[in-house]
């Protein structure tokens, strides 16, 4: 039951990450001034990062063929090798084997692949506009 709840949590977080990363207005709302916060030490921390558009060269090379090669259970290094580059970390929460992290790879014309890892294993993937 706990594994089922953890997997459900990972999927929900992954969906929110994808929605948040693909909606510019939500990104603006999520930006707050940096400073110190008083988080109790026993409370998990959540770290999110947003990527800014790149100028000059684009991150091309994303395809449905590469996306279909991504399988649950792969580690980050294997995913990065399939996609041909390092991803941008978009979210991280938890610790150890319960740490949930998501990465995003962006391409041309609003193409992207987002992958969610629990521990060091891929648990879900989402894509948009791949050919």
pLDDT of 116 strictly over 70: yes
| Weakest mean pLDDT among 8-12, 27-31, 58-62 | 27-31
pTM over 0.85? The answer is no
pLDDT in tens, 31-90: 444 444 444 445 555 554 444 333 333 346 999 999 999 999 999 999 999 999 999 999
pLDDT of 15 strictly over 90: no
How big is the CA angle at 42 (ends 15 and 8), to the nearest 5 degrees?
25
Output Rg (C-alpha) for the chain, integer angstroms: 15
d(CA 86, CA 99): 19
């Amino acid at each position: 039951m706990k594994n089922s709840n953890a997997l459900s949590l990972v999927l929900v977080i992954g969906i929110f990450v994808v929605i948040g990363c693909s909606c510019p207005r939500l990104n603006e709302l999520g930006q707050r001034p940096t400073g110190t916060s008083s988080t109790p030490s026993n409370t998990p921390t959540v770290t999110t990062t947003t990527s800014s558009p790149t100028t000059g060269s684009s991150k091309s090379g994303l395809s449905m063929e590469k996306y279909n090669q991504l399988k649950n259970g792969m580690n980050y290094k294997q995913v990065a090798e399939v996609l041909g580059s390092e991803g941008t970390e978009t979210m991280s929460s938890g610790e150890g084997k319960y740490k949930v992290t998501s990465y995003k790879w962006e391409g041309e014309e609003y193409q992207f692949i987002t992958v969610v890892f629990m521990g060091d294993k891929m648990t879900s993937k989402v894509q948009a506009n791949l050919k």
